[in-house]
């Protein structure tokens, strides 16, 4: 990757040369527990859940990944749109999440199943240390924009997330969210 500078917005990031990757429901349908609802939605459309804006070219091991993600607002059944969620492996490095717009949560879960959650909103930074799987969930009613920074030397480990039944959202949380609406 090359040196770059950009305003912290999707438009500016695209102008600075970022590539866009789109994630749709059909690619991520296993994230959601309500299979019937997933199938019902997919009969009509394949909605975009989120888009990731990333600087080319392919990063070297020594680079940091510096991506803007736009996670759209919406639900599948009772579960809000969320990112795939992953652990890092070999090395199991940290990840930084900085909210830019909208509101959501960064849900962390370690391999013992312990859970932490942090706010994702403008002006807040959160850090997921190595060993903590992480997923962002849009709990608001508008698009959630956030910056994520991680070492490019890490490998996404999605399998552990699946094995652990990496949580979409703890139950107590659902209550808190509806209380805020």
Q: Could you list the residues that contact a copy of itself (CB under 8 A)?
A: 1-9, 55, 60-64, 66, 91-96, 98, 106, 108, 116, 118-119, 123-130, 132, 147, 149-151
CB of 1 or CB of 164, closer to a copy of itself: 1
Q: How far is the CB of 80 from a copy of itself (least distance, A)?
A: 19
Query: CB–CB of 137/176 below 8 Å?
Result: no
CB of 46 or CB of 122, closer to a copy of itself: 122
Phi-psi map region of 153: left, alpha, beta (phi>0 left; psi -120 to 50 alpha): alpha
CB of 36 or CB of 114, closer to a copy of itself: 114
Residue 79's SS3 state is: strand
Q: How far is the CB of 4 from a copy of itself (least distance, A)?
A: 5
Radius of gyration from C-alpha coordinates of the chain: 16
Beta bridge partners of 110: 132
User: How far, rounded to the nearest angstrom, does the alpha carbon of residue 29 sit from its chain's CA centroid?
Assistant: 15
What strands lie across the sheet with 132-138, from one edge to the other?
115-121, 103-110, 132-138
Other residues' Cβ atoms within 10 Å of the Cβ of residue 147: 17
CB of 19 or CB of 33, closer to a copy of itself: 19
Q: How far is the CB of 108 from a copy of itself (least distance, A)?
A: 6
Q: How far is the CB of 29 from a copy of itself (least distance, A)?
A: 29
Q: How far is the CB of 117 from a copy of itself (least distance, A)?
A: 9
Write down the residue that tokens 């509806």 correspond to: 178
Closest to 55 (Cα-Cα) out of 19, 23, 10, 96: 19
CB of 35 or CB of 176, closer to a copy of itself: 176
């Amino acid at each position: 990757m090359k040196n770059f500078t950009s305003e912290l917005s999707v438009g500016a990031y695209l102008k600075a040369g970022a590539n866009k990757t789109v994630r749709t429901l059909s690619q991520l349908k296993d994230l959601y527990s309500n299979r019937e609802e997933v199938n019902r939605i997919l009969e009509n459309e394949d909605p975009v859940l989120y888009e990731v804006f990333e600087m080319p070219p392919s990063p070297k091991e020594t680079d940091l990944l510096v991506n803007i993600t736009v996670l759209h607002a919406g639900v599948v059944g009772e579960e809000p749109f969320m990112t795939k969620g992953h652990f890092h492996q070999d090395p199991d490095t940290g990840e930084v999440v900085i909210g830019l717009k909208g509101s959501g949560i960064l849900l962390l879960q370690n391999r013992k199943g312990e859970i932490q959650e942090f706010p994702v909103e403008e002006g807040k930074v959160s850090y997921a240390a190595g060993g903590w799987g992480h997923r962002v969930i849009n709990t608001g009613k508008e698009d959630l924009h956030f910056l994520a920074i991680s070492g490019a030397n890490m490998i996404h480990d999605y399998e552990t997330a699946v094995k652990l039944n990496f949580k979409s959202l703890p139950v107590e949380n659902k209550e808190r969210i509806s209380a805020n609406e």
